[in-house]
Amino acid sequence: MTLDNVSTILNDGIQAIIITSLPSVGVGLVVGLLISLFQAVTQIQEQTLSFVPKMIAVFLVLAATFPWMAGLIIELTTSLWLQIPVYSR
């Protein structure tokens, strides 16, 4: 296995991680921003007000995008398993 093969595998893995985490992180960011704006306007400083809606939104996005995320990760894993004979030379 050459250094190019290792860097390609690492690059593909990091790209898969970033791409699959973007929807949930993005929704968490937007919901957190909206809640913090609401808290600043109303001057309500309750900790659970910021945590619970973000958690619910992220769980909903994970539930909605899980088939796509699993498909992407399974595709990467399958390609790695099929490449084992090539990499073992």
Q: Measuring CA to CA, which residue among 13, 16, 14, 9 is closest to residue 69? A: 16
Q: What is the pLDDT of residue 43?
A: 86
| Burial tier of 49 (Cβ tally within 10 Å: 0-12, 13-18, 19+) | middle
Predicted pLDDT at 11 = 96
What are the structure tokens assigned to 5, written together? Answer: 């093969």
Angle at 60 between CA 38 and CA 17, to 5 degrees: 105
Which residue range forms the structural domain that includes residue 10?
3-87
Among 4-8, 36-40, 46-50, 68-72, the range scoring the smallest mean pLDDT is: 46-50
pLDDT at 1 over 80: no
Task: Say how many domains are in the chain.
Answer: 1
| pLDDT score for 28 | 94
Q: What is the pLDDT of residues 10-66, one digit of tens each?
A: 999 999 999 999 999 999 999 999 998 998 898 888 877 888 899 999 999 999 999
